[in-house]
Structure 1
Amino acid sequence: MNTLVVRPARVRTAGVRQQILLTAQQRLMMLMLLFMAAFLLISMRLVFFALFDTASGSGDAAAAFIPARADIVDRNGVPLARTIDGYSIRVVPSKLLNNRQYLADELVKIFPDTPREEFLARLNGPRPTYIRRRALPDQVAAVNAIGDVGFDFPREKERLYPQLSLAAQLLGFTDAEGHGVTGVEGSFDKQLTDKATRGEPLVLSIDARVQGVLESELGNAVTNLEAIGGAGIILDVHTGEVLAMTSLPTYNPNKLIAGDAAARRNAVTYNLYELGSTFKPLSIGAAIDNGVVTSMAKRYDATKPLAIAGFKIRDSHNMGRWLNVPETLIHSSNIVTAQIADQLGKEKMEALFRSLEFNKRPEIELKERAFPLWPKEWGRLSTMTTAYGHGIAVTPLHLANAYAALVNGGIWRPATVLKLGDKAPPQGHRVFKASTSARMRQLLRLIVSDGTGRQADAPGFRVGGKTGSAEKPGAGGYRRHSLVSTFAAAFPMDNPRYVILAMIDEPKGNAFSSGQRTAGYTVAPVVKKVVMRAGPMLGVFPDESRDVDVSELTPLLWKNGEGE
C-alpha cells in the first residue's frame, strides 16, 4: 500500500506579506536613486562641457549649430541671403556602367540649357566632375532614375537668395566655394565667414519693402520707355543709410548665367554719368554761400546764347528774357547758371566739387566704386559747363550724397549699407551754410510746385528736387538723341528726411511719355509714385496742411514755364 504525502499549502501571515512589500519598495527606491544619480551625473557633465571645456572637439560640436556663412537680413530682419544644405549632381566616369552616348542624351532631357557635347566631355573625363551644382530636387530624382552608379549626389552648402532678384547688385553673390564675389557678399566676406561673427546675421540698412517699391516703379518706367537701363537710390539725409538701391537691368543671383555680366554691374556706385541740370542747385548753393548771389530778385541776361572760348552755351527752352535765381532753376537755364559760375570762379567751383568728394570714388562699403571723370584742366569754360553738369561725370551715389548735404543743413556724410541702429552717424563735414541749405529747400520745392519737376509733386509729401536731361557723349561730340534723364529729390522739404534719386538711361519718346524724353516727363513721375507708396513705410505721411514757406519767392516768378 502506497502512502501519498501532500505538502500543505504555505500560509503567509499578514506580517510576512508586509515584509515582502517593504523589501520590494526598498529595492524600487534604490533603483530610482541610482537612476537619478546617473541622470544628475550626466547633466553635470554636459554643463561642464558647455561652460568650461574649450577643447577643439567641443568647439566643433558647438560650431555645428552656427551657419557656415552668416545670414544677411534687411533692417527689419527680412532674410535676403542665407546658407542651406543644397543638392549637387556629380559624375565619376570610372564607375559608369551605361553607354556614354545614352547618358548624354538622358542628361540633355533633364538639363536642356547645357549642350550635349559638354555632357559627353564630362562623362568621358579622367576625373570626377560636377554635372550640376545647386540642382533642384526633381533634377536629382531624374538623374537618380537613370540608374547608373557613376552618378552621386553630395549635399553641399548653398547660398540662397529668398527674395530672388531683389537688391541683387547690392547683395552680390558667392562663388562655387562659398566665397563672396561682389556686393555685400564680397565686401563683408570675412565677417560673414568668421566663426566669431557668423553666428549673428549681417543687418543691412535697406528696407526690403521700400526696395521692392523702387524696383517696381523704376522697372515699369524703363520697360514702358524702352530704355536701356536705370538706377535709383533712397538715402537717409541725416545718417547716410541706404534704404533702397537698385540697378536695371537686373539678374537672379540664385541662377547665374553668362549673359548676366552687364546686369551684375551696380549702376548706382559703378557707372559714371554726366548728370546735367541736377548740378545746378549745387552750383547756386555755392554761389549763395560765397556771397556771389545775394539777392533772389537780381536778374541775369538769358535772351541769347552765351559765347565762351569758341563755344555757345544755350538753353534747351529759351525764355527770351532776363531771369532771376528762382526762375533760373524753375526754367533750368544753362545760360544764367554759367554766368553765376563764372562769377563764382574756378577755385571756388572746384572747391565745391572736392568738398562733395566728386574727385574720389564714392564712399560706401562696397568694392564696386567708380572713380569720377574729372576735368583735365579747370579753365573758365570747365567752370561754366560743370556748373550745369557737363564736362564732369560721377556716379548716382555721388549726386545723392550731395543732395543730402544740400537739404540736411549743409553736412556731407558718407553713405552706408549697414543699419546704424543706436550708433551715431559719422560726423561728416560742412559743405553749405545752414542758411544756404534752408534757402535751397525753398528753391527745390519751387521747382516741383512751379517748374520742370511738377510731375513729381506727390500730394501732401512736399517733394522738392531738380530735373536733369544730359546728352550722352560719343565719338565726335554729344549724341542729341541719347539722353540720361535724372530726377534728384528730397522729401518732405519742410523737414527733409530722405533723398530719392532716379535715373533712366536713354528713354525713348513714345506714347507713354507723350513723345518726350526729358526728365520732367520720364523720371519725375517715377519719383512721385515711389514717394506715395514708400513714404508711409518710412514714417512719412501726407499732410496737405504743411509745406515749405515760399511766400517771399513766389512774387519773383514772372510766369510758369518749362525747361530742362
Structure 2
Amino acid sequence: MNTLVVRPTRVRTAGVRQQILLTAQQRLMMLMLLFMAAFFLISVRLLYFALFDTSSGHGNGSAAFIPARADIVDRNGVPLARTIDGYSIRVVPSKLLNNRQYLADELVKIFPDTPREEFVAKLSGSKPTYIRRRALPDQVAAVNAIGDVGFDFPREKERLYPQLTLAAHVLGFTDAEGHGVTGIEGAFDKRLTDKATRGEPLTLSIDARVQGILESELYNAVTNLEAIGGAGVILDVHTGEVLAMTSLPTYNPNKLVAADAPARRNAVTYNLYELGSTFKPLSIGAAIDDGVVTSMARRYDASQPLAIAGFRIRDSHPGRWYNVPETLIQSSNIATARIADELGREKMEALFRSLEFNKRPEIELKERAFPLWPKEWGRLSTMTTAYGHGIAVTPLHLASAYAALVNGGLWRPATLEKLGDKAPPPGRRVFKASTSARMRQLLRLIVTDGTGKQADAPGFRVGGKTGSAEKPGVGGYRRSSVVATFAAAFPMDNPRYVVIAMVDEPKGNAYSSGQRTAGWTAAPVVRKVVMRAGPMLGVYPDESRDVDVSELIPLVRRDGEGE
C-alpha cells in the first residue's frame, strides 16, 4: 500500500505577510504616541504644581519644593546657613529593655562630652526625651548598635552652618524648634520662614572671602597679643553695606554649649567702648565745618597739662604748640580739647547727635547697645568727649561716622542686606564736602607721618586714626587695661571702604615690641586686611596715585610721635 503525502498549499502570500507587518507597525506607533501623550500630560501637570500651585488645599505636594527655612547666602551666593534633614536620638524610657546603668555607661562612651548623671536622669524619666539633637551619622549608628528598642531616631529639620564659625555673630542661630534667636536668624525670622519668601535665599552684604580675611588677621592679633577679645568691621562708605563683621572670641552655631554664652555677644554692635583718639578727626572736622578752625597753620598750646574743673587733661608724651595737622599726627588730647572748647558744648553735642551716637547703632540686628551718653554736657564733657573719653559707643557707630567723614559728608545707616540694583539710602549731610576733602588729607598724613604708620599698605593709600583708651573701672581709669582701635579708610584719594580694627586689652609683648597702643597693635591688622582684601573688593595697589597733601607737608614738624 502506498502512502501519499500531500503538501498543503501556502495560505499566506507575500502580499498578505507585508500587510500584517504594516498593521503591527501601525499599532506599535499608536501605542508609542499614546505613551508619549500620557507622559507629556503628567509632566505638564507636575510642572504646573511646582510653579503655580501655592494653595494650601492640595496637601504638601507643592510645599515639598520649598525649604522649611530659607537659605542665607553671602553677596556672591556662597551658602552661610541652610536647612537639611538630620537625625536626632531619642529615648522612650517605658520601652527600654536593658539596665539603665548599663545604658548610661554605653552612652557616655559615645558622647563623652555629656555627664553620666544626665544620661541616667533621662533614661529613668517617665517621658520621651532627646539624648542628642543634631546627631552625627556615626553616633546614630553607635546608639543603634546598643540594640535597645527604647531608642528611636526621628528625622528632623536641622539648621546647618557650613562655614562653621565664619560670621557666627552676623548669622546668629536658631532654637530647637527652628526659630531664629540672634543675628540674622533672629532679625529676619519671619522672612526666612514665610512660605511666600522662604523659597528664595536671603542674600547678605557680607563677602565670605573678606570675612575670612578679617577674622583670621584679627584672631592672629588677639592671640599673639594675649588680648581678651577683639572686634572688626568693613563698611562700604557709599552704601552702608557691611562687607565683613567679626567679634572675638567666637563660637560655632552648629554646636551651642552653655560655656559659649559670653562669646555670643557681638562686640561690634552690642559692646560699648570709649574709643579714645579715634574721635579726634570727628571733632576737628566739626570745628572746620563750623568755621572755628579756619587755618591749618594756627597753633594751640599743648606744652602743659590743661586744668579744667578740677581735672587735668594730659598728653601721653611731652608736648609743645601744635597746628591742626600736628594735633592729629601727634594725637594731642590737650590741643584737641582746646579746639573743642572753642567749638562749644551745643555744637559738640550736635555733632554726636548727627552721627547718632545717642542712639543704638543703625543695623538690622536685634543685638544693639544704647550708648553711654554724658549725663551733663558741661565744659569738661565737651573737651573730653572730643578725644573719646566720657562717651562710649559701639565699633559700628564709629564705622558709620568715619564713612560720613570721608565719603563727602553723608551719614547713612549700615545694612547687612545686599543692595544689588537698589539705590542706597540718600543719606543725611553731617559734614560739608570741603571738610570731608580736608579730613581725607589729614587722615592720610596720620598714616604717612604719624601714629598710624604701621597701617600703611603700599599702594592702597590708607588713611586713619589710632585710639588707645584706658578702660574705666572702680575709682577711675585702669592704666593696665587699654582698648586699642584703628579706624581707617581706603583708598583715600577716592574712599570706598572703612575698616575698623579693635583689640581689647592687648599685652605689650615681643609681638608688639613691648607696646600696647593702637599704632603697634590694631594698625598692623588694618594693613594686613587691606593688602589681602583690597583686590577682592576691586581696589588694587597703585603707588603712582595718592592724596595731594603738598600744602600740609610744610606745616608738619618731624620731631617724634605721640599716641
Q: TM-score range by the shorter chain?
A: over 0.9
Aligned-pair distance for 1:136? 0.5
User: TM-score, structure 2 length as denominator?
Assistant: 0.97
Percentage of matched positions with identical amino acids: 86
Residue identity in the other structure for 2:71: D
Residue identity in the other structure for 1:290: D
Q: Could you tell me how far apart the structure 1 residues matched to 2:31 and 2:481 are?
A: 89
Q: Could you tell me how far apart the structure 2 residues matched to 1:30 and 1:156 are?
A: 48
Residue identity in the other structure for 2:336: T
Aligned-pair distance for 1:18? 3.9
Q: Could you tell me how far apart the structure 2 residues matched to 1:529 and 1:123 are?
A: 53
Aligned-pair distance for 1:243? 0.5
Whether 1:312 aligns to 2:328 is no
Aligned residues of 1:457 and 1:528 also touching (Cα < 8 A):
yes
Question: Secondary structure of 1:64's match?
Answer: helix
> Who is 1:523 aligned against?
522
Distance 1:548 1:59, change over 3 A: farther
> Who is 1:56 aligned against?
56
> Who is 2:126 aligned against?
126
Aligned residues of 1:451 and 1:560 also touching (Cα < 8 A):
no
Q: Could you tell me how far apart the structure 2 residues matched to 1:446 and 1:557 are?
A: 9
Aligned-pair distance for 1:63? 1.4
Distance 1:69 1:36, change over 3 A: closer
Residue identity in the other structure for 2:426: Q
> Who is 1:445 aligned against?
444
CA RMSD of aligned residues (A): 1.7
Aligned-pair distance for 1:427? 1.0
User: Which deviations, in whole Å up to 9, do the C-alpha atoms of 1:157-193 show, x marking residues without a partner?
Assistant: 1111111101101110010111110000100000011
Question: Secondary structure of 1:267's match?
Answer: coil
Aligned-pair distance for 1:9? 3.2
Alignment of 1:374-385 (within 5 A): 374-385=373-384
> Who is 2:196 aligned against?
196
Question: Secondary structure of 2:507's match?
Answer: coil
Q: Could you tell me how far apart the structure 1 residues matched to 2:57 and 2:402 are?
A: 55
Question: Secondary structure of 1:436's match?
Answer: helix
User: Which deviations, in whole Å up to 9, do the C-alpha atoms of 1:248-297 show, x marking residues without a partner?
Assistant: 00001111011111110000000000000000000000000111000000
Distance 1:26 1:484, change over 3 A: closer
Aligned-pair distance for 1:32? 3.8
Question: Secondary structure of 1:481's match?
Answer: strand
Question: Secondary structure of 2:278's match?
Answer: helix
Aligned-pair distance for 1:317? 1.1
Alignment of 1:421-460 (within 5 A): 421-460=420-459
User: TM-score, structure 1 length as denominator?
Assistant: 0.97
Aligned-pair distance for 1:20? 3.6
> Who is 1:89 aligned against?
89
Q: Could you tell me how far apart the structure 1 residues matched to 2:55 and 2:389 are?
A: 64
User: Which deviations, in whole Å up to 9, do the C-alpha atoms of 1:345-366 show, x marking residues without a partner?
Assistant: 0000000000000000000000
Aligned-pair distance for 1:58? 4.0
Aligned-pair distance for 1:11? 2.1
Q: Could you tell me how far apart the structure 1 residues matched to 2:359 and 2:311 are?
A: 29
Distance 1:560 1:233, change over 3 A: farther
Aligned residues of 1:462 and 1:494 also touching (Cα < 8 A):
yes
Distance 1:19 1:153, change over 3 A: same
Distance 1:560 1:57, change over 3 A: farther
Residue identity in the other structure for 1:145: A
Q: Could you tell me how far apart the structure 2 residues matched to 1:454 and 1:45 are?
A: 67
Distance 1:433 1:149, change over 3 A: same
Question: Secondary structure of 1:270's match?
Answer: coil
Alignment of 1:269-308 (within 5 A): 269-308=269-308
Question: Secondary structure of 1:261's match?
Answer: helix
Q: Could you tell me how far apart the structure 2 residues matched to 1:294 and 1:313 are?
A: 24
Residue identity in the other structure for 1:377: E
Distance 1:18 1:274, change over 3 A: closer
Aligned residues of 1:49 and 1:58 also touching (Cα < 8 A):
no
> Who is 2:157 aligned against?
157
> Who is 1:487 aligned against?
486
Aligned-pair distance for 1:36? 4.5
Question: Secondary structure of 1:211's match?
Answer: helix
Question: Secondary structure of 1:127's match?
Answer: coil
> Who is 1:247 aligned against?
247
Residue identity in the other structure for 1:325: V
Question: Secondary structure of 2:190's match?
Answer: helix
> Who is 1:261 aligned against?
261
Q: Could you tell me how far apart the structure 1 residues matched to 2:343 and 2:145 are?
A: 77
Residue identity in the other structure for 2:341: D
Aligned residues of 2:172 and 2:185 also touching (Cα < 8 A):
yes
> Who is 1:466 aligned against?
465
Q: Could you tell me how far apart the structure 1 residues matched to 2:52 and 2:232 are?
A: 52
Q: Could you tell me how far apart the structure 2 residues matched to 1:458 and 1:378 are?
A: 39
> Who is 2:510 aligned against?
511
Aligned-pair distance for 1:90? 0.5
Question: Secondary structure of 2:502's match?
Answer: strand
Distance 1:42 1:81, change over 3 A: closer
Q: Could you tell me how far apart the structure 2 residues matched to 1:183 and 1:36 are?
A: 51
User: Which deviations, in whole Å up to 9, do the C-alpha atoms of 1:446-496 show, x marking residues without a partner?
Assistant: 000000011111111111100000010000000011000000010110110
Question: Secondary structure of 2:243's match?
Answer: strand
Distance 1:257 1:48, change over 3 A: closer
Distance 1:447 1:22, change over 3 A: closer
> Who is 2:140 aligned against?
140
Q: Structure 1: give runs of 5+ residues left out of the alignment.
A: none
Aligned residues of 2:276 and 2:469 also touching (Cα < 8 A):
yes
Q: Could you tell me how far apart the structure 1 residues matched to 2:401 and 2:26 are?
A: 85
Aligned-pair distance for 1:318? 1.8
Aligned residues of 1:72 and 1:204 also touching (Cα < 8 A):
yes
Distance 1:288 1:92, change over 3 A: same
User: Which deviations, in whole Å up to 9, do the C-alpha atoms of 1:178-229 show, x marking residues without a partner?
Assistant: 1110000100000011111111111100111111111111100100110000
Distance 1:286 1:148, change over 3 A: same
Aligned residues of 2:459 and 2:542 also touching (Cα < 8 A):
yes
Distance 1:178 1:45, change over 3 A: closer
Q: Could you tell me how far apart the structure 2 residues matched to 1:43 and 1:373 are?
A: 63
User: Which deviations, in whole Å up to 9, do the C-alpha atoms of 1:313-359 show, x marking residues without a partner?
Assistant: 0001122x211010100000011110110000000000000000000
Distance 1:110 1:413, change over 3 A: same
Q: Could you tell me how far apart the structure 2 residues matched to 1:504 and 1:30 are?
A: 78
Q: Could you tell me how far apart the structure 2 residues matched to 1:97 and 1:459 are?
A: 71
Question: Secondary structure of 1:253's match?
Answer: coil
Question: Secondary structure of 1:478's match?
Answer: strand
Q: Could you tell me how far apart the structure 2 residues matched to 1:253 and 1:44 are?
A: 42
